[in-house]
Structure 1
Amino acid sequence: MRVYIGDTYSILPEVYDVHYLVDRIYPVEKVGEKTNRLLHKLAKSVGIKKKPLVLDIDSVPQIKLKKEEYHPVNWGKEIINRFIQQIGKENIGFLSVSYNIAFNRDYLPNIASRLVMESGLKLDVFPEEIPYYGCASGIFSLKNAVEYCRKHNKAAVVFTFDQCSQVSYFTYDQNDPFFKKTLKSYFLFSDGAVGLLVLPESLMEKFGKKGVEIEDIVLTHHPGDTIKMEKGKFLLSKNLKDEVSPIVADKALKPLLNKHQLTVKDIEEWALHQGGFTVLEKFKDPQILGLSDKQLSRAEELLRTYGNLSSPSCLLVLDSFFHEKNGSKKGKKGVIAGFGAGYYIGAALYRWI
């Protein structure tokens, strides 16, 4: 049975200019003019212009959620209710929630269970929650949603989010060993969510106007720790840019293309996880994958505009392709690829209908 993504929906909280954040969080009167200037320089070198944040920056250094509407359960309800309005509650039989970091102190019942109760869903199978699969977690959710649709001939909802600012570390003690170590991850990572409405062929014909057919999904794992938590702090290794991209290409992207007798040039849309500009640039190397500037442009554009949203980052790129208003894309192919801590890696091949 054919399975499709019939709609996507993204949620971004309040968006801040990164240089505004430097002056608000590390003002001259607390860190000195020299350090403030160096932080502006670091922010510029990372290349991110703006950051969507759920963090209450007025409470820093205390880590606090700015608005209750930013709680992941409220984000999930917003996404689910959008899809309910399109196809009806009775047609949704499965929910998969995936993330790494959340402003959620009440762990039980889990987020997935709360969403079922608060949205009034009547599922055929138990809702699943996939935490800590790195920035590939949304692809794991998508794989399970596709398998559910094939077996049960009903719709599934994928809700993927991250609230990376929950693990921000703010200190004005420049002798603190984590002062410099955590700065790069702070300037790179942001907060946001993406939902996917996954439909079997019967419901796509009934409700869908456009969408993409999921032709194949590859999931894999390669042990690695260049992305990790240490004593509660989020750290990125200097080796990240050199290590991850070749692994992703060799373990997932090349096998996926080879299986379907496709080349890189056959894929017009690349919804890649934006692990950073240096990570994306590596995919241009002919020995790694050989992507063109044009093929990487959307991922780079959204990274520059919003930063690295972690789990939903590749799905945010897909969402941008999904809601373009440039006529028919029928027959065009695309790849979604997520990869992150662990390393968990996922890639999906799709075709516009």
Structure 2
Amino acid sequence: MKSLQKKGMSYITAIGTANPPHRFSQSTIARFMEKSMNLNAADSRKLHTIFRASGINYRHTVLDDYGKEDSFSFYPNTPNLEPFPSTEKRLLAFREHALGISLAAVRNLQGSVPSSAFRTEEITHLIVVCCTGMYAPGLDIELVQELALPSTIQRTSITFMGCYAAFNGLKVADAFCKADQKAKVLIVCTELCSLHFQRQPTDDNLLANALFADGSAALLVEAAPARKSLRIEAFHSDLAPEGKHDMAWSIGDLGFEMKLSTYVPDIIRGGIRDLTNLLLARAKNNSKGIRHFAIHPGGKKILEAIQQELGITEEQNRHAYTVLKNFGNMSSPTVLFVLNEVFKNASGTDNDEQVLSFAFGPGLTLESMLLKFEIYDA
């Protein structure tokens, strides 16, 4: 390896992703939603319009009910799905399924690097990111036990921050690595959004039911680079308070309730240029030479708004569309799925090329990150 460790830096050296086994088309899920929400003709037309315009072909879920018309295993087998699953029942299902999909993401990460690059006894920190379920002792401790990580490992949980939470996990990992040149940080982002289906036919619910899905992503962040790495260059975040009522996440008696209005793309459009300029100023850079993008596909209209505002082509943003098409919006892991596509497709000619990444969430929070490829001959 030609690279030398640079003091006070951090690097993404491996990425792994995983999804639960149940994969359904948008049309299949739409049929379940239409029937279970007991929609009138007008709302039924609205639902199908939203589903067709979503840019999503398939989504994954831990629940096989979304592909059924009867004989449900999670929802009640009654005409109106009563009693509708309580928050307690949904969180029990989260506890049942979250570990397995998280382990699958970590094992996919392990499979992407030489065995010497991921020794469990060398992992110094574990960061678990999630906003769709919680319990204690939690997923972090279960991962320590199942992966045979050191019992003395430093554990951090980042909860209830929504789709941009992976950026906070990366910020924490970046700080650990800059403080300790021996740091090896494992980040696991796991979300089971499909557990929180809401059947009241509000505009928010119709939109959320068309977008969200289940998935997990794992990252290895180190203080030293590997043969192929993404060096973390800079972060910048901001708030658009005028959107605080347009994207929100609360706990109700019947699951976690998403507030997601159709105004979100316009709010992001209004703040994305300043966010980008301030990020690049912090990195003492400009956007002219950036060819790689990892943008959280919160929805097709969000991607289109960012492209129009920053002058990005759909081809440059193709990885976000690929993830949206095949997986939907999985909340916090989604931007890491996009970043994984960028990472996998990079070659030696991309050495020193930069990657510009964005994610968004409640607040309305705007997060940005600048990365740079370091790719060396073995």
TM-score exceeds 0.5? yes
Give, as a single letter, the amino acid of the residue that structure 2 aligns with 1:19.
S
Amino acid at match of 1:115: L
Structure 1 range deviating more: 126-135 or 56-65? 56-65
Amino acid at match of 2:287: V
Indicate which of 68, 83, 102 corresponds to 1:76.
Answer: 102
Aligned length: 336
Q: Which residue of 1 aligns with 2:136?
A: 108
- Say if 1:191 and 1:309, in contact at 8 Å, map to a contact too: yes
Distance 1:342 1:300 in 2: 25
Relative to structure 1, the CA distance from residue 46 to residue 147 in structure 2 (aligned partners, 3 Å threshold; closer, same or farther) is same
- Please give the per-residue CA displacement for 1:195-224, whole angstroms capped at 9, x wherever unaligned: 1111121xx3xxx33121112222444432
Aligned to 2:3: none
How does the TM-score come out when normalised to structure 2? 0.79
Cα deviation code 1:56-102 (max 9, x no counterpart): 31344455789999722223333445556542112100011112213
> Are 1:11 and 2:18 counterparts?
yes
What amino acid maps onto 1:96 in structure 2?
Answer: I
| Structure-2 residue corresponding to 1:173 | none
Percent identity for Structure 1 against Structure 2 = 23
How far, CA to CA, are the matches of 2:364 and 2:40 in structure 1?
A: 39
What is the DSSP-based 3-state SS (H/G/I as helix, E as strand, rest coil) of the residue aligned with 2:310?
A: coil
Task: Report whether the alignment pairs 1:154 with 2:183.
Answer: yes
Q: Distance in 2 between matches of 1:332 and 1:70?
A: 41
The AA in structure 2 aligned to 1:310 is S
| Alignment-mate amino acid for residue 246 of structure 2 | T
Q: Which of residues 28, 31, 41 in structure 2 aligns to 1:20?
A: 28
Q: Distance in 1 between matches of 2:161 and 2:46?
A: 34
Residues in 1 aligned to 2:103 and 2:307: alpha-carbon distance in whole angstroms: 39
Q: Structure 2: which amino acid aligns with 1:42?
A: I
Deviations 1:215-250 (A, max 9, x none): 222244443231124655322123212112332442
Amino acid at match of 1:5: I
1:169-218 residue CA offsets vs partner (Å, 9 max, x unmatched) = 13xxxxx5x454411111011111111111121xx3xxx33121112222
**Corresponding residue to 2:302 among 270, 279, 287:** 279
Q: Deviations over 1:3-56 (max 9, x none)?
A: 21111001122321010122244349x657876555333311223211111223
Cα distance in 2, alignment partners of residues 302 and 80 from structure 1: 19
What TM-score do you get using the length of structure 1 for normalisation?
0.84
User: SS of the counterpart of 1:122?
Assistant: coil
Query: How far is 1:117 from its partner?
Result: 3.0
SS at match of 1:214: strand
**SS at 1:284 equivalent:** helix
What is the deviation of 1:271? 0.5
Structure 2 CA distance for partners of 1:216 and 1:125, relative to 1, 3 Å: farther
SS in 1 for 2:312: coil
Secondary structure at 1:294 match in 2: coil
Task: Find the residue that maps to 1:140 and give its secondary structure.
Answer: helix
- Deviation of the 1:278 alpha carbon: 1.4
* 1-structure distance, mates of 2:304, 2:58: 20
Change (3 A) 1:333 1:227: same
- Structure 1 residues 135-167: Cα deviation after superposition (integer angstroms, max 9, x where no partner): 111011011112112222221011112211121
Residue 47 of structure 1, aligned match among 55, 66, 71: 55
